[in-house]
Structure 1
Amino acid sequence: MRLNPFGGSRRTQQADAVVTGAGSGIGRAFAVELGRRGGRVICSDIDAERARETVELVTAAGGKAFDTSCDVSRIEQVEALANTAEQWFGKPADIVVNNAGIGRGGEVIGDAPLSEWHQVLDINLWGVIHGCHVFTPRLRAAGHGAIVNVASAAAFGVAPRMAAYNVSKAGVLALSETLAAELSGTGVGVTVLCPTAVKTNILEGVSVGSEALDEWGDRLLRWTGREPASIARTTLDAVDHGQLYVVPQFEAKLIWQSKRLLPQQYTRAAGLLERLVR
């Protein structure tokens, strides 16, 4: 870990990092960018083949990498991931990116099956809780490093028909804020990423309940969606600067500010817009 001449530490340079959900999308972009910065990366994914593909990309970018399979919804597998990382690095990880997640949506509360709620919360929220629970004591003991939790603008955007996803990401945001408070002064940083549209496969096959809304979502992705590599670079730069929040896109910032300044009006407008588009 290199010192930053402008103060603090350049945590993301030559870092030993663990990335969950590294088999595609933002997770893969984080792994490759960390490799480009000279790091060693444990590429973890529930899909072992995709994790191996990411290892090849990290190596091509100039880093070193090791692939392993992990279902973040299972605490014993996350504990095994941390142990595997320590064995491969020869020490605890410097950076942990809790990224693994899935997208779901389409039905209103009361119609959406409880099985969907359990699946989304088990992966998107409990997966991040498990990552923080297992890795935080190790980072605290080391006295340096960072945890990056991938949330979403859905954490505060309250889009109708996306309740389980919204709740999972709001939980990640609250968890990250709490963890940042608890780790203040320890040398361990916390950064939470809250993007809007990113060109990944997380919402592949996901419908929000009407053809018009799905078409609007596809247009939004084409017009405003950022590449995962850009999001990863922005976030890791924020880690180096000790930033808690990363809200990378203009529309995400607009939603963030609107919700904070006019929460009741914003929520009503979100519901009205959904009904108009539908």
Structure 2
Amino acid sequence: MSSVSIHQTAIVAPGARLGHNVKIGPYCVVGENVVLDADVELISHVCVEGHTHVGAGSRIFPFASVGHQPQDRKYQGEASRLEIGERCVIREAATLNPGTAGDGMVTRIGNDCLIMASAHVAHDCIIGDNVILANYVGIAGHCHIGDNVTFGGTVVVHQRTRIGAYAFIGAQSMVDGDVIPYGMAVGNRAALAGLNLVGLKRRQFDRDAIHRLRAAYRMIFSNERTLRERAEDAAELFKNDAMVQDVVTFITSAADRPILVPRNGNGGSES
């Protein structure tokens, strides 16, 4: 404990486990079942409760509420968990809830995530690595968000929605269907607006791979036959392309889920 810094106004329960070089600022509250790994910093006025594990190097800013009971009437006090990865930044007034018995009993947030002011991650969500939630984003319960997804401000995501890796969700969108990997969704209600080409280029994806993905996208979201049939055709035509296979697997792996499609039915804009 000699390497831990706890402000004299903070309240830390005796059972809390604090790693090397943890810093707990003024007026923070840390519950008895909380684990803060090495180099975690609670700036001030942070409340961390429940069975919550915060990964090494993460920083949590004032008035964030982390690990309090879910906003779910079915919750009956079960010892569900909230797991936050390493090097995450959780900004002012964000709220993150643990899981419930109605799902996997855990809410999990990956490494290197940025959760901006007043954003909300509800119970039983699984959030990948390097995800950005801009201000006032609301993720409802049971959602699965892939790696490297970016949300613009004031986005709302319906419960049990899946959003594939490297997708981009435009500001002020209401998302009530699944968004394919590498896709871009915009609007209220949101529709698929093409591929996240800017994001793919910024992350230095291979140019030829992007061209193949664009060709597959046009095939999958054309107007002929069913979406599943078009996806299976793309899987065969681009059977050696990992990015196309990611999209196809996402579409075909959950037949009972609505998939967002372009509004005009012909592949949408890709700008």
Greater relative CO, 1 or 2 (CA 8 Å, sep 6+): 1
TM-score of the superposed pair, with normalisation by structure 1: 0.24
Which of the pair is proportionally richer in helix? Answer: 1
Which of the pair is proportionally richer in strand? Answer: 2
